[in-house]
Amino acid sequence: MLNRRHFLSLSSLLLLPVSRVVEALVPNHQLLNITLKSEKKKWFSNYSPIILWGSDVEKIILKQHENVQIEVKNELSDATSLHWHGMRVKNNMDGVSGLTQAPIAIGSSFTYNITAQDAGTFWAHSHHNTYQQLAMGLYFPLIVKEEEEYKVDQDLLLVIDDWRINEHRQLDLESLGDFSEWAHGGRKGNIITVNREIEQSYLCKVGQRIRLRLLNAANSRIMTLQLPVLPTWILAKDGQPLTVPIKLDKAITIGPAERYDLIIDVTSSAGNYPIYEVSTTQNIQVATLNVISGKDIVPSSSSPSALPENPLAKLDFDQISHSTKLLMEGGAMGSLRQAKYQGEVLSVNELVKNKKIWSFNGTAGIDDKPLLSAKSGEMIEIEIINNTRWPHVMHMHGHHFKADSEHYPKGIWHDTLLLLAKEEATIVFRAGDVGKWLLHCHMIEHQASGMVTWIEVT
C-alpha cells in the first residue's frame, strides 16, 4: 500500500459534484441511455487527472417491478458487455460476453431489457476482459427502491474500490495480468476510494437513522470495515432483506461484489466518525461520518423493522433434485498437478502457459459442458469444497441461494459467498429462468485463471 497520507496531502482539489444519477421516473418501458467511456478524475493535485473507465452515469435508480430498456453505447477502446450483478434478469440480458451475448464492439450499442424484480442494492459491471475492465473502473451501482418507501433520514451508498496507481499517479496498467498475483490472492490496489473519490465525508445529524449501503467493487480485495461505535444492524445482504435485522457489533467483512445494507442510528454527539478498512495491518480511513447536532429529541435506538420480502421462490430443502460437488483446486502452495483445459488434460506447466492455475472439478476455465443441468423450478444443492490455501468469493449468476456458512447470519440469501481457505459450504437454490448461468470466483483474477463454470436451466 502506498503511503496514504502522502496521497491524501496531494488531493487538495475538490471538484463540485455534478449529478449523474439516472432515475427512471416514468414506470414501464422507459428507455435509459448510457455511454461507456473513459473518465478523468482529479485525485492528485500537481499531477494530470487520472483516467479511469466508466460511464456517463454515477448510478441507476429503479423502482421495484419497473421495466426499462437500457441502451448501452460503447465508446471505449475495447469491446465490452455489462452484467447486472444480483439482478434476476432474462438469461440473454445477463451480459456475459461469449456465453449469453456477443461482446458490444467498439462504437456500437446493445440494449438491455431489465425488469427490477427485487428491491435492493445491486451493480452493473463489465463481463468482458473483466480482470482489466473492472480494475479500470467499468462499473456503476444500481439501486432498486422498495415499492413502499422504507423510511430513514438518509440513504447513503458507499461503493468502495481499490486501485493500483503508478508513480505518475495514473492507473498502473502494466501490472494488469501479472500471473503471480493470479495464482495468489489476486490484484490488490494501493489506494482506496469511496464512490470514486478519495476521502469522502458524509454529513449526518444527531438523532438520524441512516441506511448505509456498502458495495465492494474491488477486483480481489476482501475488505473489513470498522464502523463507528453506533447502534448498527444488518438489514439486507446482496440485495435481499434479512427476515429480522441483526445487530452488528464488530467490523463487517465484505468480499468482492458483496453488498450489505445497514441501519445506523446516530445516537452519538456531534463530531467526526471515521470508517476504516482494516483488512491489512494499515488501518485506512475510507470515509467519515461528519455528525452535526440536529434533532432536539433524544435519539432512540429501537431495532429497525425488516424490509419487505422480495418475490424469490421459496426453497424446499427436502426436495433436492440435483446434488453436486464443486471441488476447487490450484493456486500457489496448492496440490494441483494437472487439469482439463479446452478439452485436453494439461500438466501444471502447460496450464501456466495458458495462464490457468485454478480448477473446478479438474477443469480450468469454462467447459462446454455445464456443472449440472436442471429444469426451471427444481431444487439444486452444490457442495463447494475449497481445497486451496486461498479465500474465494463464489458468485452465482441469476440466482440467490442459501448457504450453511458460519461467517454469516443463519438463513440469509446470497448471490456471492466468501469461503475462507480450506473451507466448505453447501449452497442451495431453486433453478430460475431458462439459460446458461455462470458460477465463478469473483476474485476476478481467479476467474480469469480458471475458476469458472456454469449451470444450465432448461
Hey, which residues between 216 and 245 contact ligand C2O (CB under 6 A)? Answer: none
Which range in 98-106, 230-238, 391-399, 401-409 contacts Cu ion by CB under 5 A?
A: 391-399
Question: Is 436 among the residues that bind ligand C2O (CB under 6 A)?
Answer: no
Least Å from the CB of residue 395 to ligand C2O? 5
The number of beta carbons lying within 10 Å of the beta carbon of residue 46 is 8
Closest CA to 255 of 60, 394, 141: 394
Question: Is 4 among the residues that bind ligand C2O (CB under 6 A)?
Answer: no
63 binds, among Cu ion, ligand C2O, none (CB under 5 to 8 A by kind): none
414 binds, among Cu ion, ligand C2O, none (CB under 5 to 8 A by kind): none
441 binds, among ligand C2O, Cu ion, none (CB under 5 to 8 A by kind): Cu ion
Closer by beta carbon to ligand C2O, 183 or else 257: 257
Hey, which residues between 344 and 403 contact ligand C2O (CB under 6 A)? Answer: 395, 397
Question: Is 392 among the residues that bind Cu ion (CB under 5 A)?
Answer: yes
Number of residues interacting with Cu ion: please give it, by CB under 5 A.
4
- Is the alpha carbon torsion for 184, 356, 333, 394 positive or negative? positive
Question: Is 184 among the residues that bind Cu ion (CB under 5 A)?
Answer: no
Burial (CB count <10 Å: 0-12, 13-18, 19+), residue 344:
exposed
Least Å from the CB of residue 397 to ligand C2O? 6
Closer by beta carbon to ligand C2O, 184 or else 440: 440
Closer by beta carbon to ligand C2O, 213 or else 442: 442
Chain residue at closest Cβ approach to ligand C2O: 85
Question: Is 441 among the residues that bind Cu ion (CB under 5 A)?
Answer: yes
Question: Residues 75, 108: contact at Cβ < 8 Å?
Answer: no
Least Å from the CB of residue 187 to Cu ion? 12
Least Å from the CB of residue 438 to ligand C2O? 5
Least Å from the CB of residue 367 to ligand C2O? 16
Distance CA 261, CA 247 (A): 12
392 binds, among Cu ion, ligand C2O, none (CB under 5 to 8 A by kind): Cu ion
Q: How far apart are the first and last CA of the chain?
A: 47
446 binds, among Cu ion, ligand C2O, none (CB under 5 to 8 A by kind): Cu ion
Applying CB under 6 A, among 63, 127, 356, 430 the residue interacting with ligand C2O is 127
Applying CB under 6 A, among 384, 438, 451, 457 the residue interacting with ligand C2O is 438
Q: What is the largest CA-CA distance in the chain?
A: 71
Which range in 51-59, 271-279, 341-349, 438-446 contacts ligand C2O by CB under 6 A?
A: 438-446
Rounded (5°) CA angle 362-368-370: 70
Hey, which residues between 83 and 102 contact ligand C2O (CB under 6 A)? Answer: 83, 85
Which range in 16-24, 266-274, 278-286, 435-443 contacts ligand C2O by CB under 6 A?
A: 435-443
Applying CB under 6 A, among 310, 440, 449, 451 the residue interacting with ligand C2O is 440
Binding residues (CB under 5 A) for Cu ion: these are: 392, 441, 443, 446
Binding residues (CB under 6 A) for ligand C2O: these are: 83, 85, 125, 127, 257, 395, 397, 438, 440, 442
